[in-house]
Structure 1
Amino acid sequence: SAPNVILISLDTLRGDSLSCLGYPRGTTPWMRTFFETEGVRFSNAEAPSTWTLPSHTSLFLSQYPDRHGVTRDFHSVPMAAETLAEHLAGHGYETAAFVDRGFLHHHYGLNQGYETYQQKGGGFRQILPSALEFLEKREGTPPLFLFLHTFDIHDPYAPPNPFRERFLLENMVPTTPEFALPHFDVMREANRGNLELTREDIDYARALYDAQILYVDHELSQFFQSIEKKKLLENTLVILISDHGEGFGEHGFWAHGWTLYEEMTHVPMLMRFPDRSFQGTLVEERVNLVDVAPTLMDYLGYAIPENWQGQSLMPVIRDPELKLDRSTYSQLYDNNAMYQGYLKLIEQKRPNPSKLNEERMPPRAIFNLDLDPYEEKNLIDDAPVDASNEFERLEQTVEVMKRQR
């Protein structure tokens, strides 16, 4: 019979903050067993955008933002678009989603294709019990596509006890009074250059952020223990992703939705297949969230829609040494990043009302991510490729995407 599918989106989770992907702090002990030992990990997954609405739209439509057009906070998913949930429903799946607040509200159209769509708010502490109750009441057929989402890792950084103190050292306190509770308003002022945050502020915020990850990992462990005891996890594919990362002052920026640097684009992508197929696999090839839907359709044996821009990752899951000869993209308003092998090109055109200087946000940048994963050295004047040709190719690709909407 067709397997069940559980897709989990942990909003705002950086790809380099999971202990199951090498982060030194023990942020994800449950994920380490569930995905590192029993599943497949992608160490170089990128988000198609660096804020919630366009990135989730790309996840469900397998199209980059400049293709689907949902790029502003007053946009919504076009009614004519067919989401992943709609495609799976067409193949006989029951579809259900239990999500948090904000851009997951049905007003934005991400509910298209779901028979059950509950926006609970309150994070996983409210969402997961509702999802578990729903699962317990099901009679078992037809196969289920379940989507879970939370803002628990999003600012403000306020992890509940006992998780709050987990990574705070004895002398770890913020020096900026406004930063006692790290939240977006303070980060925005720092991004605009109106407030200078210190190393102590950064360490304090990162400790609280990491504690929120540990809390979410704990909530997921309890949820999956419950459904496993009830034998509701049998014949189920589990996929965990995030829609974007989070900045902590790298390149002068905090939070997300400001730049296309790796701290905001690099995200986790983890999969656990039925019968633990492909367990222990690590894929280092660079992939994108637009690849999730095609991978799922391919695994289930369904045709991949022609207008999807992502690519099935089943070939690299079966053979992690395989190289994908293609470019992938991240897009933020009028800014674009293109990934080609180990190179990343960023072109930033958006007029900046915050008057951010070019040192922090140069119009063009090229980075060798293999040698410089934190993007500290801009190779624009010493690039291993013809920079003008590559940026011209990027611009042409973006224009084609816009014309294909």
Structure 2
Amino acid sequence: MLKRPNILLITSDQQHWNTLGVRNEEISTPHLDRLAQGGTTFTRAYCPNPTCTPSRSSILTGQYPSQHGAWTLGTKLPEEKQTIGELFVNAGYRTGLIGKAHFQPLGTTEQYPSVESYPYLQNLDYWRHFTGPYYGFEHIELARNHTNEWLVGQHYAIWMEEKGCLHWRDYFMEPTGSMKASEQHSWTIPEEYHYDTWIAERTASLLRQYSDQGEPFFLWSSFFDPHPPYLVPEPWDNMYDPDQITMAAAHKGEHDSNPPHFKLTGLENADFSSYHETGFTCHGMHSHVHDEQSLRQDIAIYYGMISLMDKYIGHILDTLEQCGLAENTIVVFTSDHGHFYGHHGLIAKGPFHYEDLIRIPMIVRYPGHVPENQTSEALQSLVDFAPTLLDLAGIPIPRTMTGVSQSEVWRGRQQQARDHIICENRHEPTSIHLKTYVDERYKLTVYYNQSYGELFDLKEDPEERRNLWHEPTFAQLKSNLLLKYVWAEMGKEPIWMPRISHA
């Protein structure tokens, strides 16, 4: 009987697809480069939603956000949903998650309770005694803060105390910590107490445990960076010179043919009030006006955050090798979605489905099975991860999973497993409800109850500067793509059982 492969999933948070060292020579990522040299880099991987909770839930379930229920931020993945963690446990695997989960919201109600909510996440006595099970993971160690956010707590805070950092609150914002205003770019927290160190240390500990017990595992090592606020401890805060960084920017007139919310982003006092149906924060629905020098400094820190994360990914990869696990472990690196830092004049994220936001970095290494030092343009989606990993482990794929298995593509035996991807973004019930269809060449974005949209030719216009939606010459192309999009939507409907009789 063939030995079952171990699986190590390593994710960053909202990393732009071409910030990977093998794509951008401005950034130093020697350990991700090492991973790429031993495997295949997929240059056309996409998220199924450009925000955290929906995309992370798609990784877990193999379903799209419109199917698994966590349709936007501030919602949660229903506990009764079948997850890849449960399926691996049932097959005799050990399962663990270290770092960011974000399967549940920061708010909680009696009808929709959340253990990841504030102030619950700062009840350290609770978290000292709760390490799982959670969504199919036998063992979890979690945190929710990005850099010095006041949402710090859970297992990360406990770890800092165990490391002797009893004054850890000094490094975080009020009301949890003592900081009255956010630090700018340089974070005073010593690297030894940084959450990258925590994630790598705890991941390595589990790897050694699994190795000692000789048990197959599915382990998710989930990093928080490079998420704003832009903060990183020394010396990483000075690793990159802001004046030497290549800047992205909007081109004059590029939003003239775009939907209305694109045009508002360039105004100092943009009024997005008509989009706020729920009353909660709408990512991206704010002015994106920025100062170039400040943005240069932000990007320099963003790069520094990636390089620091890369160092600790290296520690994890080293532990795999030291434990003798590397040869039989599938290692996948990716991000939950992308990010804007000046691209098209935009900052952070929002309902703007440019490649910079929905396209993500992705590397797969599996010695002897996945080709080494290769790149592939085969279309990939995070919704494919669950069925693919199950397939590679020889575990039956549930019929309810609507992602496709990419196992033969990852192995280099097949050119492609899908001819399109779909990215959903329903951040408000109706006013921010859009879906994007991308195939080998074209990208089509439609909006709920709206006649406007986007159509880009990624071959002739890879920077997506010319929206063809309203151009008469491309009316037939748009019509054809709209039909393909409808077929794609029909094709991803789950069928939980096969038809077994005449009636």
Q: Per-residue deviation at 1:61?
A: 1.1
Contact between 1:331 and 1:337, CA under 8 Å: does it hold in 2?
A: yes
Which contiguous aligned blocks of 4+ residues in structure 1 show a shift greater than 6 angstroms? 187-190, 399-405
**Aligned counterpart in structure 1 of residue 388 of structure 2, from 273, 292, 295:** 295
The 2-side partners of 1:229 and 1:331 are apart by 41
Q: Is 1:126 matched up with 2:219? A: no
The 1-side partners of 2:39 and 2:370 are apart by 7
Q: Per-residue deviation at 1:389?
A: 4.6
The 1-side partners of 2:347 and 2:449 are apart by 18
Q: Deviations over 1:338-375 (max 9, x none)?
A: 11221110123489xxxxxxxxxx93111122232221
Match of 1:50 in 2: 50
**Aligned counterpart in structure 2 of residue 278 of structure 1, from 371, 374, 379:** 371
The 2-side partners of 1:311 and 1:337 are apart by 18
Q: Per-residue deviation at 1:256?
A: 1.9
The 2-side partners of 1:53 and 1:102 are apart by 6
**Aligned counterpart in structure 2 of residue 112 of structure 1, from 126, 129, 135:** 135
**Aligned counterpart in structure 2 of residue 314 of structure 1, from 407, 414, 432:** 407
Trace 1:1-400 onto structure 2 (pairs within 5 A).
Answer: 1-20=3-22, 22-35=23-36, 37-100=37-100, 102-103=102-103, 107=115, 111-119=134-142, 120-121=155-156, 123-138=195-210, 139-169=212-242, 192=285, 194=287, 196-275=289-368, 277-319=370-412, 322-324=415-417, 326-333=419-426, 334-349=433-448, 363-380=452-469, 381=471, 382-383=473-474, 385-391=476-482, 393-394=484-485, 398=489
SS class of match (2:227): coil
TM-score (norm. length: structure 2): 0.68
Contact between 2:379 and 2:416, CA under 8 Å: does it hold in 1?
A: no
The 2-side partners of 1:189 and 1:52 are apart by 14
Q: Per-residue deviation at 1:196?
A: 2.3
Larger Rg: 2
SS class of match (1:31): helix
| Identity score, percent | 25
Match of 1:355 in 2: none
One-letter amino acid matched to 1:366: L
One-letter amino acid matched to 2:467: N
TM-score (norm. length: structure 1): 0.84
Unaligned stretches of 5+ in structure 1? 173-186, 352-361
Q: Per-residue deviation at 1:135?
A: 2.7
Contact between 2:98 and 2:203, CA under 8 Å: does it hold in 1?
A: yes
One-letter amino acid matched to 1:337: T
The 1-side partners of 2:69 and 2:348 are apart by 23
One-letter amino acid matched to 2:24: Y
The 2-side partners of 1:136 and 1:117 are apart by 16
The 2-side partners of 1:403 and 1:241 are apart by 25
Distance 1:93 1:14, change over 3 A: same
Unaligned stretches of 5+ in structure 2? 106-113, 117-131, 143-154, 157-193, 246-269, 271-280, 427-432, 497-503
